[in-house]
Structure 1
Amino acid sequence: MRILATILFLLAAAAAQAAVRQTEAGPVEVTEVASGLDTPWGLAFLPDGGFLVTERDGRLWHFGADGGRQQVRGVPKVATTGQGGLLDVLVPRDFAQSRQVYLSYAHRQGGGAGTAVGVGRLSRDGRRLAEFRRIFEMAPGSRGGRHFGSRLVEARDGTLFVTIGERGDRPAAQDLGRSQGSILRITRGGAPAPGNPFLGQPGARPEIWSYGHRNPQGAALDGAGQLWAVEHGAQGGDEVNRIRAGANYGWPVISYGRHYSGGKIGEGTAQDGMEQPQHYWDPSIAPSGLAILSGNLLPGWDGDFLIGSLKFDLISRLEQRGGGLVEVERLTWPETERVRDVRQAPDGSVWFLSEGHGAIYRIAPAGR
């Protein structure tokens, strides 16, 4: 009840910004929750009804239960090179006791930069991350400013999934001796998690959970605790994948897209020992952010996947059918300009970050 009351309080100040938008499941209300953000990247809800938002240039913002907003001090120095910077934010389930907040970011490594993860304790007033420490960094680092990946997901057992792009170095995604192009599973302290598929395998990074990824920028658990990820292809071939331990997702050996030059990628669309996507887009939508919905606040959307598009300014809605995923609707509204992240709030509503507008919006049934 406290969370719901807080959300209603936050929305009251922005009521004039609310708009009714049509969907195939009926009308919804889209409300601006916050604005004035500079390249927002990640969003996480706090148990007291507040929330945290990252800006890629290196700022973390705390929006309090009272509607106040303040910049959080104590965040790490980030490498703001190309697509790099301060990226995702994760509030773990035990936050009320631990006060821990996890961040992923581009960390300077010699002449290059790599994806890193760190943790600190949010002060009671929300003004500072105390005792922040880096617990993991990609090894080895890479030059260039592309494909940091960088979504964080807490597994049901409390371990952390971390998505990392191949940093523009395509062969790295097939090299188990490098972190690039992989989804990792680490402990809360940053160590390889027990039960990882390549623990003890000579020459393999023990933190790797799956590999053969290009640039996964969306990840979430479904209701059964299964991890899913969405990743950028090249010119075509954006993918949604069901992530299995030890599985190879094919990049750059197989793909449903082509290089930006028009040239063929790898060896076709399928090969033994490599996973097929549950859905792919051609042409690319440039997907970022993934929410897998539960509950009945939004009728007809329970169990659906909502994925933001940076290229076409929309949210793609997918349904599970016949063991795969089918795109059933594209939510294209004035608010959906460069959708960077999509999350389901504790009250069941859907929030999304518009990088284009520098704003946060909430989707709910009209009057809710």
Structure 2
Amino acid sequence: MRKTILSTALFASALGFASCSHAQSGDGDTVELGEEAPFTATSYGTFAAPWAIAFEPGTGRIFLTEKAGTIKFVAPATGTVGAVDGAPEVLNRGQGGLGDIAFAPDYAESGTVYITWAQPEGEGALAAMGRGTLVCHSDTHCELEDFSEIWRQSHVGERFGHYSHKIAFSPDGEYLFLASGDRQEGDPAQDLMDNRGAVLRLNLDGTAAEGNPFAEMGSPADQIWSYGQRNLLGFEFAPDGNLWDLEHGPAGGDELNLVVRGANYGWPVRSNGDNYDGSDIPDHTEDDGFTKPAIFWNPVIAPSDMIFYTGDMFADWQGQLLVTTLRTTAIARISVDAEANSAGELARYTMPTRLRSIAEAPDGAIWVAEDGGEGRLLRLTPAN
């Protein structure tokens, strides 16, 4: 049966929809928003199914992956748009394609960039990750040099969703944490000899890091940090050093989790949602032996990305989680308490369409990429 709603939300009024064209100047194009919006929005162009956005350290340029396999970048000061050669060939099918982009902790010295993607394998597919050196030849042309695969999922999936493949570096810059989705199969999330449906803790070269909780079992269990997870699309370290993830539930039960070493989050044995055919999945209970979500949503919000805000432009939001969503076409603002393993939704700001990714600029502005074939790249700044 359908579960009851655990979280509560404050809803901003619906925001108006506005069209825009490709931005050619730093001013961009203004997007009409409702009077209740706490921010204004400026468009910096449209892109073909953008999936992830990230700011290049030291330059303020924003890099963006497009699902079909291309990488673009935008210089906000001028509106100049450039392209990056050397991305891997991807399987653009279902939920798969080009995935995350992340700059190495030592990017200023090494120029290393990490990319994830959906890779074809026989009749199926798997998630992969590689790294290379970003070399820029002009204001509109960069290249990934010496790019090579350094990690892949241990088993090929016959379905074409739930790749997750989000990247987060530990605050000390020593480790790479990787979200590896269950590939719509469920059972791999409870199998420690399958690195799907799990959070992985890796060295920067993609190998298993020492000190992981199941290392004595050998590969690929030696990669796993936590497991029992489904489709992790939000993945971020908080300012206090704790790692959090946002997961899609089935028919109900989207959840925010504090990622704990060795923890089992229960999927597919437990969920606060139901199967898509309407059959019941047992709810989490206090004595079920699984780690509980800090908050869950019924009906779902379909989370797509998240950041912990640390800037000064929206000073009252510092330390809070900003979540972009697909189902509710909104940005949700959430407070978290790691010690209590709890969270609460503070507000929800409806946007014109589905949102795919979010990032914080060096100046504290918030940038989001819309989902879809003509997804806009929007810069959000305070309304007053």
| TM superposition score normalised by structure 2 | 0.87
**Residue 4 of structure 2: aligned partner:** none
Match 1:93 to one of 92, 99, 105: 105
**Residue 36 of structure 1: aligned partner:** 46
**Residue 328 of structure 1: aligned partner:** 346
Runs (5+) with no aligned partner, structure 2: 1-22
* 2:94 is aligned with 1:76: no
**Residue 133 of structure 1: aligned partner:** 148
**Residue 382 of structure 2: aligned partner:** 365
Match 2:67 to one of 44, 47, 56: 56
Rounded to whole Å, the distance in 2 between the matches of 1:323 and 1:218 is 17
Secondary structure of 1:197's counterpart equals coil
**Residue 309 of structure 2: aligned partner:** 293
- Does the aligned pair in 2 maintain the 1:20–1:27 contact within 8 Å? no
**Residue 170 of structure 2: aligned partner:** 155
Cα deviation for residue 323 of structure 1 reads 4.9
Percent sequence identity over matched residues? 35
**Change beyond 3 A, Cα 1:202–1:186:** closer
- Does the aligned pair in 2 maintain the 1:21–1:333 contact within 8 Å? no
Cα deviation for residue 175 of structure 1 reads 0.3
Instruction: Give 1:1-368 correspondences, 5 Å limit.
Output: 13-19=26-32, 22=35, 27-32=38-43, 34-46=44-56, 47-64=58-75, 66-125=78-137, 126-158=141-173, 159-202=175-218, 205-265=221-281, 267-270=282-285, 271-320=287-336, 323-334=341-352, 337-356=353-372, 357-366=374-383
Rounded to whole Å, the distance in 1 between the matches of 2:181 and 2:38 is 37
- Does the aligned pair in 1 maintain the 2:313–2:381 contact within 8 Å? yes
Rounded to whole Å, the distance in 1 between the matches of 2:184 and 2:41 is 36
**Change beyond 3 A, Cα 1:365–1:194:** same
Cα deviation for residue 324 of structure 1 reads 1.4
- Does the aligned pair in 2 maintain the 1:83–1:148 contact within 8 Å? yes
Rounded to whole Å, the distance in 1 between the matches of 2:67 and 2:107 is 23
| TM superposition score normalised by structure 1 | 0.90
CA offsets, 1:321-367, max 9 Å, x none? 66511112111032xx1111112222122111111451111222247
Cα deviation for residue 22 of structure 1 reads 4.9
Cα deviation for residue 20 of structure 1 reads 5.7
Cα deviation for residue 19 of structure 1 reads 4.6
Partner amino acid, structure 2, of 1:363 = L
Secondary structure of 1:176's counterpart equals coil
Secondary structure of 1:17's counterpart equals strand
Rounded to whole Å, the distance in 1 between the matches of 2:84 and 2:308 is 29
Partner amino acid, structure 1, of 2:123 = G
Rounded to whole Å, the distance in 2 between the matches of 1:15 and 1:264 is 48
Rounded to whole Å, the distance in 1 between the matches of 2:134 and 2:258 is 33
- Does the aligned pair in 2 maintain the 1:21–1:27 contact within 8 Å? no
Rounded to whole Å, the distance in 2 between the matches of 1:345 and 1:200 is 41
Rounded to whole Å, the distance in 2 between the matches of 1:119 and 1:27 is 38
Matched length: 352
Rounded to whole Å, the distance in 1 between the matches of 2:312 and 2:74 is 27
CA offsets, 1:77-127, max 9 Å, x none? 111121011011001232121111100111122221111110011113252
Runs (5+) with no aligned partner, structure 1: 1-9
- Does the aligned pair in 1 maintain the 2:25–2:78 contact within 8 Å? no
RMSD: 2.0
Partner amino acid, structure 2, of 1:268 = D
Secondary structure of 1:35's counterpart equals strand
Cα deviation for residue 194 of structure 1 reads 1.8
1 or 2 for the larger relative contact order (CA 8 Å, sep ≥6)? Answer: 2
- Does the aligned pair in 1 maintain the 2:60–2:361 contact within 8 Å? no
- Does the aligned pair in 2 maintain the 1:11–1:31 contact within 8 Å? no
